[in-house]
Structure 1
Amino acid sequence: KPMNNSLLYIFFAGLLGGLLALFTPCVWPIIPMTVSFFLKRNKERRKAIREAITYGVSIVVIYVALGLIVSLLFGASALNALSTNAIFNILFCLLLVVFAASFFGAFEITLPSSWSNKIDQKSDETSGFISIFLMAFTLSLVSFSCTGPIIGFLLVAVSSSGDIVAPTIGMLGFAVALAVPFALFAMFPTLLKSAPKSGGWMNVLKVVLGFIELAFALKFLSVADLAYGWHILDREAFLALWIIIFGLLGLYLLGMFNFPHDDEGRRTNVPQFFLALLSLSFAMYMVPGLWGAPLKAVSAFAPPMNTQDFNLYKNEVHPRFKDFEAGMAAARLEGKPVMVDFTGFGCVNCRKMEAAVWTDSNVADMLNQKYVLISLYVDDKTPLPEPMTVTDTDGTQRTLRTIGDKWSYLQRYKFGSNTQPMYVLIDNDGMPLTGSRSYDEDINEYMKFLQTGLDNYNNKK
């Protein structure tokens, strides 16, 4: 069930991306041109409608093909590995910074004009379905300087979910949002008269997207920073940057400063004012986080609390051990059951569980007092003292080089799963006390799970 939910969520994220792309200066002005093209080509309305639908479908096919190519090139396990690979995360971070700079007006990211000219020429020469498909392709190329950064952002964000069909579903949502208005305006050309005119507001939208891409670039840098233990972007550094980014976004929306492509006498309108209010409030909300407030709204993105040097917040659950053997030895000495928490530095749902469930006083009490909590990070890139050769579940020989490899192998081999978070309760011989749990923010169910494990442990004694 959560899988379908997440795919639906990815589809809507794509849809939202497509809607945002639609209102950018490279896409919106193309709509009237396209519509007049269909109407000029066909004096007959029915034929125009049929061609408009074909055009819409062509847009969807082009973008979904892009999603499929990404999936086939990388494959699910590679997508999962990419999501915690430091080099890729740094590349994603730099890519998003470049996209943001482009949206701020530093330069335009465009594909070679010869491409779109050639395709445009072909669409004039051919007739029927092919020419419409080529026109849709021209749209994709011409509008790339606005859609590129949004698609790039979507594909990067979706690829790290590790689901093979995710990029395709994301692109489907994106394309549907782009295609429907084109088809609709071509069917009902009178609608165009009431559509908002392109103007300065479009550049404001681009700049807002630039700020958002900048904020997310830090998320990717943070994953690499955590996996390799560099400590350049600890929680307070990350929050300070986010406070500044969203604060500046608020000031920009209030018209305090301009970017190169903004209109000269830009004034704040009512929607911008409310957006500024939201952005500045969000920046203020994060300020107490600098002193260790939990900030549940950003816990999925910010680095974990334990990276923060100055922390006044005391209600936190910290794992007593990050090593399986050491934790098991302590549990035997103390005569307590063990909770093994398979987690990852780049795991968004792990942070959500820690912020939403582990902060509950009953859960925290249970984990701190009644259990020995061992957290194993499957993406920890610290090298092992010496590489280990093991036989994997499918019978192949594998070499484990990092601590993360070792915990990932333990999770697959002993518990038959490779998703995080995964919570397993075991006795002192390493035998399961009850079924495992994964991402689910239901605190009552989590308490039942912990209580069952404890009862079963005591009954075994």
Structure 2
Amino acid sequence: MKKLNYILLLLTFFAQGQILNPVKWKTKSVQKSETEFELIMEATIENEWHMYSQFTPEGGALPTVFDFKNAKGNYTLVGKTKESQYKKVFNDIFEVDEYYFAKTAQFKQTIKVTNTKLKEIKVYVEYQACKEQCIQQDATFTFQLPEIKEENIETVTAIVSDTNNINSSVIIDSTKNEVKNIKEKESVNDSKEIIEISLWLLFFGTLFAGILVTFTPCVFPMIPMTVSFFLKQSASGDKKKGRLNALMYGFFIVLIYVLISLPFHLFEKLSPTIFYEISTNPYLNIFFFIIFVVFAISFLGAFEITMPSKLANKVDNASNKGGFTGVFFMALTLIIVSFSCTGPALGGVIGSVLSTDGGATYLTIAMFGFGLGLAFPFMIFALFPSMMGNLPKSGGWLNTVKVVFGFIELALAFKFLSMADLVMDWHLLERETFIAIWIGIFATMALYLFGKITMPHDSPLQHISVGRLLLGILSLTFSIYLIPGLWGAPLNIISGFPPPMSYSESPNGVGYKNEFSNNNSTESDELPEDAYYGPHKIVSFHDYDKGLAYAKKVNKPVLIDFTGKTCVNCRRMEEKVWSQEQILSILKNEVVLISLYVDDRTELPKEKVYTNKSEKLIDTYGEKWSDLSINKYEANIQPYYVLMAHDESNLNKPVGYTPDADEYMNWLRDGISKFKK
């Protein structure tokens, strides 16, 4: 079930982004005497970013601050922390001078050890880094000390990991005076783990999609033709050349697809939030819906989407050139000629990735995976021609594969329409309607696979193959599984994919009352002012300030939920994790939930419209909450959970998507216990 879930989620990634970390640190300590050490902390700052001096004037950016943690009773500071030369610039907005570093910064602090048993020194630093936006960061450095002996005057170097909470350590062999670096202990942010998992899922999913596309009428017959060309080169006397050209042919296929993604990196550089804006833009999602429907109809056999014949002929003529140039144009010819089959699948890949905020990196990896999957059969059969005998013969089954793709693409199209509907709150495609459409699509696909329905390009069907029968049974079973969803069943296999239960014609269920309720609940008179019933009737707030004020009134910690109407994993957390009895009890009784929708297009009152540090006009609630997430918490992923005290400080480390209910419950209990201390 998990594998099926991943496949369904693959082409419609939830909004998620990377944690910014523009400053990398290195540390070293120099022993100046038996008891004196100079601690050196060097920062490497990414291009266009800068961090601020310890002495930058008040009223502007936040200065860099060092805290020498275990100084009391162990060592004393000799003078103040010295720093390298900074730049001085007048800030027109704050009307103060600001002192900042660009590219590099160095800080030195001399300490005198008073406790000879001291083994390490801990230094904590807080600093602000700015580019188009400003983020608050921190790091912890650990300096290991040798025995306090005169002969041990050595330079100790420890490289710091690239995470926000950093530890570095080294061991000195006092006999041989050799420095041995120990591997850094990295504290990996939960959101980074999510991104890494998604990237691997994206790569293997698109790789699989690329391989599947080769089993279509436009591509499959070209495999033996192309492979035979390279085999003839080998037979002519130069086997190495033939194999090299076969490998280069595959390489160029992958390269061409990757090149298609490169312009999006430029778009992302010009506008870092462009992918987020695309993922939540209802009109772009409607556009993707239309594109998917057109591609699906093409796969079903109504018409073919092809490249202009003149372009195909020119490229084909260029492939007659010798050397790698000819091989490149052969690869380009394949891509153009097979576009009627690969185009819809490729459009699905691009449209799905663009509809998330995964960024240009996601798109490049998706294109790389798709190109590699398409190129793989050509390369493998050219290198191992004896395997060609295992290939099935061309026939009507190729069109069957194409039609099945059409049904799947049609089903996926309605996810885009659903996202647009959710953002605009039109209620045109509520949960029951969405599920009913999917039931119709997959039931029809089952009838097609059983031979009860034929498409325009199908060959006469005398019998059903075992593979086709099994796939038909799977499609029919999936359709039957979806039916209870019309009456409020959670449908865990596709959890988070259809609209949430609260976005339906019967939010309280049909024939029984479930845990979901809309904002028009009859129990609204029991709610605190400005609150509403969220998932599982959890008392929730949309407004940050009002939720915080209520939390102070009832003396409970705040749980900030950065979420989105179109966020798949947000719904999965609500439906599969929040529904757990112990977690639900905590959410209802021990915290105050503030759900901030980053794709909420409700306009802010005119007096609350503002321009952020990146000089972007913030005029909707969604933009306001997204700006808060990025600038205060250095995260632009959803879901993102923050347990906060009344002074707006974090009670523990925020987390992202946490499907393990026990892990999420432990995180909640940890933060609540710290609040009560």
TM-score by length of 1: 0.94
**Secondary structure of 1:62's aligned partner:** helix
Which stretch has the larger CA shift, 287-296 or 200-209?
287-296
Alignment partner, residue 242 of structure 2? 48
Please give the alpha-carbon distance, in whole angstroms, between the structure 2 residues aligned to 1:111 and 1:318. 53
Q: Note the 1:422-461 alignment, pairs <5 A.
A: 422-459=640-677
Aligned to 2:415: 219
| Aligned counterparts of 2:197 and 2:257: Cα–Cα separation in 1 | 22
1:295 pairs with 2:496: no
Give the whole-Å Cα distance in 2 for the aligned partners of 1:442 and 1:133. Answer: 47
Alignment check: 8 A CA contact 2:258 2:368 kept: yes
Provide the C-alpha distance between the structure 2 equivalents of 1:35 and 1:294, rounded to a whole number of angstroms.
Answer: 49
Give the helix-richer structure, 1 or 2: 1
- CA distance in structure 2 between the aligned counterparts of 1:40 and 1:305, rounded to whole angstroms: 61
CA deviations over 1:93-149 (Å, ceiling 9, x no partner): 11000000000001100000111111111222x211111111110001000111111
Q: 2:319 is paired with a residue of what secondary structure?
A: helix
Using a 3 Å threshold, how does the CA distance of structure 1 residues 359 and 256 change in structure 2: closer, same or farther? Answer: same
In 1, the alpha carbon distance for the partners of 2:368 and 2:260 equals 10
Q: 1:329 deviation in Å? A: 2.9
- Tell whether 2:365 aligns with 1:169: yes
The CA deviation string for residues 20-47 of structure 1, in whole angstroms up to 9 with x for no partner, is 1110110001112212223345522332
Q: Which of 542, 547, 551 is the matching residue for 1:331?
A: 551
Deviation at 1:391, TM superposition (A): 5.0
Which secondary structure state, in structure 2, belongs to the residue aligned with residue 49 of structure 1?
Answer: helix
> Cα 1:441–1:433, aligned 2, differ >3 Å: closer, same or farther?
same
Indicate if the aligned counterparts of 1:7 and 1:166 stay in contact, CA closer than 8 A. Answer: yes
User: Are the counterparts in 1 of residues 559 and 592 from structure 2 also a CA contact under 8 Å?
Assistant: yes
Aligned counterpart, 2:261 = 67
In structure 1, what residue type is equivalent to 2:587?
L
Q: Tell me, yes or no, if the aligned pair for 1:338 and 1:425 is still in contact at 8 Å.
A: yes
Verify the 8 A CA contact 1:294 1:313 in the aligned structure 2: no
User: Is the CA contact (8 Å cut-off) linking 2:268 and 2:359 kept in structure 1?
Assistant: no
Match for residue 352 of structure 2?
A: 157
Shift of 1:229: 0.8
The structure with higher relative contact order (CA 8 Å, sep 6+) is: 1
1:317 matches 2:317: no
Whole-Å Cα distance in 1 between the matches of residues 194 and 676 of structure 2?
A: 33
Is the partner of 2:306 in helix, strand or coil?
coil
TM-score, scaled to structure 2? 0.65
User: Which of the two has higher C-alpha Rg?
Assistant: 2
| 2:610 is equivalent to residue 418 of structure 1 | no
What letter corresponds to residue 448 of structure 1 in structure 2? N
Q: What amino acid does structure 2 have at the position aligned with 1:390?
A: Y
Aligned equivalent of 1:142: 337
Rounded Cα–Cα distance in structure 1 between residues aligned with 2:564 and 2:644: 20
CA distance in 2, matches of 1:433, 1:420: 20
129, 133, 136: which one aligns with 2:328 = 133
2:611 and 2:618 in contact (8 A); partners too:
no
Aligned length: 456
- 1:261-315 deviation per Cα after TM superposition (whole angstroms, max 9, x unaligned): 1112353211111111111111111211112111121122111111023224227
In the TM superposition, residue 332 of structure 1 has moved relative to its aligned partner by 2.8
Deviations 1:149-203 (A, max 9, x none): 1111112222314233111111111122221211222233343233111111111
In the alignment, what sits opposite 1:196? 392
Alpha-carbon distance in structure 2 between the residues aligned to 1:192 and 1:415: 55
More deviation, 179-188/367-376:
179-188
Aligned mates of 2:251, 2:673 — CA distance in 1: 58
Structure with the largest fraction of strand: 2
Distance (Å, rounded) in 1 between the aligned partners of 2:394 and 2:265? 35
1:243-282 matches, cutoff 5 A: 243-265=439-461, 267-282=463-478
Q: Which residue of 1 aligns with 2:602?
A: 382
SS at structure 1 position matched to 2:616: strand
Give runs of aligned pairs for residues 231-246 of structure 1, distance below 5 A: 231-246=427-442
Corresponding residue for residue 367 of structure 1: 587
Cα distance in structure 2, aligned partners of 1:31 and 1:113 = 21
Decide whether the 8 Å contact of 2:451 with 2:461 is kept in 1: no
1:342-369 CA-partner distances (Å, limit 9, x unpaired) = 1011212212222221111111111012
Query: What's the Cα RMSD here?
Result: 1.9
**CA displacement at 1:3 relative to structure 2:** 2.5
Letter in 2 for 1:63: Y
Given that 2:211 and 2:376 are in contact with CA atoms closer than 8 Å, whether structure 1 keeps it comes out as no
| Separation in structure 2 between the aligned mates of residue 417 and residue 11 of structure 1, nearest angstrom | 23
Deviation per CA, 1:50-105, whole angstroms, max 9, x where unpaired?
22112111111111112323443455521122111111111111100000000000
Amino acid at match of 2:243: I
Match of 1:210 in 2: 406
1:26 & 1:72 partners in 2: Cα distance? 33
- Is the contact made by 1:64 and 1:168 (CA closer than 8 Å) also made in structure 2? yes
Deviation of residue 370 (structure 1)? 1.6
